[in-house]
Amino acid sequence: MKKTYITTSIAYVNAEPHIGFLYELLAADVLKRYHQSQDTEVFFLTGTDEHGIKVAQAATKAGKEPQQFVDEVSKKFEQLGKNFNINFDYFIRTTNPDHQKFVQEKWLQLAEAGVLKKRKYTGLYCSGCEAFKTEGEIEGGKCAIHEKELEKIEEENWFLDIQNSKLEIRNWIETSVFPESRRQEVINILESGAYDEVSVSRSKERYSWGVPVPGDEGQIMYVWVDALFNYISALEINGKTDLWPADIQIVGKDILKFHAIIWPALLLACGYDLPKKLLVHGFINVDGKKMSKSLGNVIAPQQLLERYGVDATRYLLFRQLSFYDDSNFTWEDFDRVYNGDLANGLGNLVARTIGLVRSSLEPLIRTIPKVELPVFPDFQYDLATINLLINKADQHISKHRIWVKPEDYTKEIAELANLIWEVSDRLEPFMPETAVEIRRQLTELDSKPLFPRLKTETL
Ligand SMILES: [Zn+2]
């Protein structure tokens, strides 16, 4: 059997889960279910990134020890899986001792490969990014992302030299990073030289919540080095190292350079193959603004769950948000599409079809064929093809005015039932429970409302 290894990024646990990470998890889950429908065995990895100064600060603020804090927050991320029917196969936590041991082994391998150097360094540091900022990343003396004053810091750190692998990394980006529009962006960063040497450790004095650098007591690994290796440590832990290189790694655009520059550099230095595909998704804005705690516009997954239920939330996120570009979330849009596409659209269509089958075909019901495994060669995150099928089924009913005398239209009604069956197959990766329920209703001719109409359209 063909095997596929899919990863999401691991969530940083300095804050609670929001819909951005839910979206990424669902994207991987939909992909997993799609591949499974094509007879492929899938290993789907996600988890939490639990080290770093921001996590330590968040723990202090919450009045907790870092370990207790990350234990609690990571549970909330893991729970997202259960709440939204997301079938990941393993949830890696970077505080897992096996992971930490693995990362330390990799560090020694990097040292042996001669790509680590220790030297004095003076730089402008953003505690928001947990990184030294380069010229292009500074605006008016502040971090361009966090608009925070930068700290001038001098310390002795370990650096990763990526210059020998730049050409190989560039070639890999050109074929493996998606969408294409992100390739030039990250090639420009690579070619600028800003990452020729990456600081990969921090002085323990400033930063102690992390994996110790083996053989250098004063230093802690930079959180990204620790985090990136999760994609392989998780395979070690599960006895599945044959799955490397990953087939698909899904990440947000904000961490593109870590995954398209530092990650391949680490892999090449340790003698690993590079991932086959890196899919970079956009951000979800809310009412036209970036989601942020201070604006108070963060959408919690639980709010969607309570309003729409599991499958409808899964559907709406992919129907309304574009995968690669930034998208805008509004409750009004989601309500409108829920009522339009699901309550009035699909839900009504299924109920009508069952009614028609009942009044004309019931004696012949066994003639509705069981559709074999569907093959959808070009998987896309948009639901356009499926909605075309639903429209076709609707038109099929109105064109023939089937409802007037259904007994004269047994052939058309059988076709209609087949179309609905196909719709359910195609919807299955997005709405797994609904797909099974549609087929159950069709088979048992037992019509039950799939999507109750929302009573109020605004919150
Ligand atoms: Zn910053």
Q: Are strands 131-133 and 116-126 parallel, antiparallel or unpaired?
A: antiparallel
Tell me the average pLDDT across 121-150. 85
Q: Where are the alpha helices (DSSP H) in 164-309?
A: 166-176, 180-192, 223-228, 230-237, 256-257, 263-269, 301-308
Environment class of residue 340 by beta-carbon count within 10 Å: exposed (0-12), middle (13-18) or buried (19+)? exposed
Tell me the average pLDDT across 232-256. 97
Percent of the chain with pLDDT over 90: 73
Distance 408 CA to ligand 1 centre (A): 69
Distance 373 CA to ligand 1 centre (A): 48
Q: Between these two residues, 85 and 409, which has the higher pLDDT value?
A: 85
Distance 132 CA to ligand 1 centre (A): 9
Q: Residue 235 has which token pair? A: 């395979």
pLDDT at 435 over 90: yes
Q: What does the pLDDT look like over 41-59, one tens digit per residue?
A: 999 999 999 999 889 999 9
pLDDT at 373 over 80: no
Q: CA 268, 271, 277, 278 torsion: positive or negative? A: negative
What CA–CA distance (Å, rounded) separates 41 from 35?
Answer: 8
Radius of gyration, CA atoms only, the chain: 25
Give the type of residue at 149: E
Distance 141 CA to ligand 1 centre (A): 11
Q: Residue 15 has which token pair? A: 């804050």
CB neighbours (10 Å) of residue 432?
18
pLDDT at 366 over 60: no
Distance 296 CA to ligand 1 centre (A): 20
The CA-atom distances, in angstroms, between 38 and each of 80, 86, 373, 385, 452 are: 26, 18, 7, 18, 32
Q: Which three-class secondary structure state does DSSP give residue 21?
A: helix
pLDDT at 143 over 60: yes
- Fold (CATH) for 2-281: Rossmann fold (3.40.50)
Distance 428 CA to ligand 1 centre (A): 40
Percent of the chain with pLDDT over 70: 95
pLDDT, position 374:
46
pLDDT, position 197:
94
Q: What does the pLDDT look like over 46-92, one tens digit per residue?
A: 999 999 988 999 999 999 999 999 999 999 999 999 999 999 999 99
Distance 129 CA to ligand 1 centre (A): 4
What CA–CA distance (Å, rounded) separates 386 from 45?
Answer: 28
pLDDT, position 457:
56
What CA–CA distance (Å, rounded) separates 179 from 173?
Answer: 11
Distance 62 CA to ligand 1 centre (A): 22
Distance 130 CA to ligand 1 centre (A): 7
Distance 135 CA to ligand 1 centre (A): 13
Distance 347 CA to ligand 1 centre (A): 47
Stretch among 112-121, 334-343, 385-394 having the lowest mean pLDDT: 385-394
Distance 266 CA to ligand 1 centre (A): 23
Distance 7 CA to ligand 1 centre (A): 26
Q: Which three-class secondary structure state does DSSP give residue 178?
A: strand
Distance 165 CA to ligand 1 centre (A): 27
Strand partners, 138: 143
pLDDT at 455 over 70: yes
pLDDT, position 458:
54
pLDDT, position 354:
93
Distance 261 CA to ligand 1 centre (A): 18
Task: Assign 3-class secondary structure to 384-440.
Answer: HHHHHHHHHHHHHHHHHCHHHCHHHCHHHHHHHHHHHHHHHHHHCCCCHHHHHHHHH
Distance 353 CA to ligand 1 centre (A): 55
Q: Which residue has the tokens 């009412």?
A: 287
Tell me the average pLDDT across 277-299. 90
Distance 137 CA to ligand 1 centre (A): 9
What CA–CA distance (Å, rounded) separates 62 from 347?
Answer: 45
